[in-house]
Amino acid sequence: MRADWTIVSITLYSFLFLIPIVMLFVVPHNRRPTSAIAWLLLIALLPLIGLPIFLLFGNTKLSRQRRAQQRLMDELVGARVREDQQNPDLAPFVCPPIPSSYEPFARLNAALGGLPVFAGNQVELLSDYLHTLQRLVRDIDQARRYVHVEYFALSRDAETEPVFAALERAVQRHVKVRVLMDHYGSLVYPNFQAMRKRLAAAGIEHRVMLPIDFFDRDFSRIDLRNHRKFVVIDGALGYTGSLNMIRRDYFRRDDLYYDELVARVTGPVARQLEAVFVTDWGAEAGVFPTLDEFRDLTLEWQRSGDVLAQVLPSGPGHDDDNNLKLFVSLVHAARRKLVLVTPYFVPDESLMLALTTAAQRGVDVTLVNSEAADQFLAHHAQQSYYEELLRAGVKIYLYRRPALLHAKSISMDDDIAVIGSSNLDLRSFWLDLEVTLVCPDQRVVADLRQIEANYLQRSKRVDLQEWLKRPWMTKLFHNFARLTSALQ
């Protein structure tokens, strides 16, 4: 009997010894060094726990089939863009003159997301929650052909009911309404199933994005989510930004509520949002349009203003880290002023280096975070970066409770404004599907600056000397949270 236990013990110890060695050949493949080291340490120290966790959460990309679908749609959209570029009537929209300061970013975004700069747009920034919903309701009531809705969190509640009622009125006018919602992002809120039944009863086509189904061969890791938030109406008008279609307090039991930022766009760039929607709808419904069908989804080209704009989709369906590359490039290019607004700041090495370098070379860099927290580990992880940022000269402001500043924006010098769904954290860079609107327009930047000024008035600045006086246990926990964020 003792000999049997000896054999079992030797076998078990050999297995535990071999696991980290084998994973040395698996974990570092196409993975950042810090993330690979964090995973290898977890597997080496706790192999029976670390290995299953890695198998469940170690892959940061969607399935091969979903990535192939993304490439297929990229090719389709690219073909449509090239066709439009050859049309002399459309050349002013799809081949506009681009400011020299924006040309590198225009090329980068087009290479990453397949969507070029479009001219003829109007962009309005909305920061009031109720006013934004009211504007959306009025625009839905004017829809003639279709309304496409896509949100990470979708909830039919007392505050969002007017939007759902507008969608139902649109169906009654024979307007096609399609709705996408992230499965987990919406499932966790009340009345999810009842909402879906009411959508179906009203004749509204809807799909859940990235459904949680462990038996689906196309299923990826459970925390890969579609975090996009936008609406497209008739291919000529769109809304995009940080706002989810849910009541302002997200059904919280404390006094916390969320302040948002949304861009209302009219003009040709709405077609780029439509291209993102069609891609996501096709992935969930399993039906992708042909080039002719894609053309039929939009109305005629119409100029609504003179703002240049470009949409950049990103996420684990793409081969590159699209939003991260754009953000790092913007920081490196800043010459005078850079303001970053985000509820969650957990950067990778490239963004952190870019920010500290920008501040040290004389750029006025401001980071606006929230004093309130709704993501426990992310909130503590982001605070572990404050000391290094402050020492480099970055100004950090904390938006005062009880509001949580959920807006996501970047303004660079007086030239470029960025509004979207992406946070400045590892989750948004690697795990979430996001969508970003980029406007190389000084008027949009000026409008964004006014909103930023309001944020700063409602915030308190972090002082380096005061920050250094934090209790050592607090510092220790911040560093622990930072380590866990590397397990991506």
Burial letters 21-36, b for 16+ CB under 10 A, else e: eebeeebeeebbeebb
Tell me if 231 sits within 8 A of 149, measured CB to CB: yes
Environment class of 281 (CB within 10 Å of its CB; exposed 0-12, middle 13-18, buried 19+): buried
Burial class (CB in 10 A: 0-12, 13-18, 19+), 480: middle
User: In the predicted model, what is the mean pLDDT of the chain?
Assistant: 90
Please choose, from the candidates 145, 141, 144, 191, the residue with its C-alpha nearest in 3D space to the C-alpha of residue 163: 141
Helix/strand/coil (H/E/C) assignment for every residue in 273-306: HHHHHHHHHHHHHCCCCCHHHHHHCCCCCCCCCC
Retrieve residue 152's tokens. Answer: 């990470």
User: What pLDDT was estimated at residue 11?
Assistant: 63
> Considering only 243-252, 340-349, 414-423, 469-478, which range has the smallest mean pLDDT?
469-478
What does the alpha-carbon distance between residue 220 and residue 212 come to, in Å, rounded to a whole number? Answer: 9
Residues 341/370, Cβ–Cβ less than 8 Å: no
Longest dimension (CA), the chain: 87
Residue 94's pLDDT band (cuts 50, 70, 90): confident
Question: How many whole angstroms separate alpha carbon 67 and alpha carbon 46?
Answer: 32
Structure tokens at 433: 């599907």
Tens digit of each residue's pLDDT (9 = 90 or more) over 22-42: 666 666 666 667 677 777 777
Terminal-residue alpha carbon distance, the chain: 44
d(CA 190, CA 154): 10
Q: What pTM, to 2 d.p., does this model score?
A: 0.91
- Residue 280's identity, in one-letter code, is D
Q: Are 231 and 265 in contact (CB under 8 A)?
A: no
Least confident of 32-46, 84-98, 334-348, 442-456: 32-46
Q: What one-character DSSP code corresponds to residue 427?
A: I
pLDDT band at 195 (very low <50, low <70, confident <90, very high): very high
Q: What is the pLDDT of residues 284-302, one digit of tens each?
A: 988 777 666 666 667 678 8
The fourth-level CATH superfamily of domain 64-307 is: Endonuclease Chain A (3.30.870.10)
The number of residues in the chain equals: 488
Phi, psi of 274 (to 5 degrees): -65, -40
* pLDDT score for 48: 72
CA pair distance 237, 44, nearest whole angstrom: 53
CATH dotted code for 322-485: 3.30.870.10
Task: Give me the pLDDT at residue 134, please.
Answer: 98
Which residues, including other chains, have CB under 8 Å from residue 160's CB and lie 6 or more apart? 133, 245, 246, 247
- Tokens 């308190």 correspond to 460
pLDDT digits 0-9 by tens, 377-398: 888 999 999 999 999 999 999 9
Which structure tokens are listed for 410? Answer: 């970047």
**Structural tokens at position 267:** 């003009």
- For residue range 327-349, list pLDDT tens digits in order: 999 999 999 999 999 999 999 99
Percent helix, percent strand, percent coil in the chain, to nearest 5: 45, 20, 35
According to DSSP, the β-strands at 307-314 and 118-126 are: antiparallel
